[in-house]
Amino acid sequence: MIVTRELTEKEARALTAKIRKSIDDLIPLIAEAFHGAADKALGYESWQAYCDAELHGIRVPFESRDQRRAAVIDLRKSGMSHRSIGFALGVSDTTVCVDLAATASKKAVALPERVIGLNRKRYAATGQGNRYNLEPEPEPEPEASCTVVYAEVIPTPFEWYRDKLSEYIEEIHRQHNLTSEQAIALAEVGNAMDKFVATAT
């Protein structure tokens, strides 16, 4: 059962340790960590920062694309948004989008009509039959604090091109009713760009 309250620091640390040790139960544990705001309890500024620091190197070692897609569906069923799923699994939000489209359209998977964004606010899920969300997630609202200053992160030229490509791919999904084959082909383009940037930076 997924918690619906924020975790204490002790609970968040215990849960994170459990995630590190358990691969079989990793997906529901990730969902619990997200909905319980483990990132906030441990002092991280975002869910992405928590995933990069605590889950880096232990993300699910998927043996196949179908296995990854099943994990994406399970996390989406829990109410997690595209980007929150992507950060947890170590894949791009474009890959999450395509996995949902390809799987949900074939199996008519019923997904929640609302998702929880990175800012822990709820948003309506849109898409064919509300089965999957192809809309970009709204940007998180800035924290109401004047005591913390974050340095601006300037992307490299390759990262800039990757981000633009991701935006174009999302726009294609929003504007066109793609077949599963077309969605998979776009995902492969996005994944290839991710791998290129990873080796070039």
At 134-175, the pLDDT tens digits run: 444 455 544 444 343 434 445 677 777 777 787 777 778 777
Residue 130 carries which DSSP code? G
pTM passes above 0.75 = no
User: In the chain, where are the structural domains located?
Assistant: 60-200
For the record, the structure tokens of 24 come out as 């079989």
Q: What angle do CA 192, 196, 197 make, to 5 degrees?
A: 120
Cβ atoms of 40 and 16 within 8 Å: the answer is no
Q: Which residues, 6+ apart, have CB-to-CB distance to 128 below 8 Å?
A: 105, 177
Beta bridge partners of 115: 123
Q: Which residues, 6+ apart, have CB-to-CB distance to 101 below 8 Å?
A: 127, 132, 134, 173, 178, 180, 183
Q: What share of the chain is helix, strand, coil (3-state, %, to 5)?
A: 55, 5, 40
Helix (H, G, I), strand (E, B) or coil at 114: strand
Per-residue model confidence as pLDDT tens digits over 76-95: 999 998 889 999 988 888 88
Dmax (CA) of the chain: 49
CA distances from 22 to 79, 110, 122, 157, 181 (A): 22, 28, 29, 38, 34
Per-residue model confidence as pLDDT tens digits over 38-76: 999 999 999 999 998 988 766 666 767 888 888 888 899
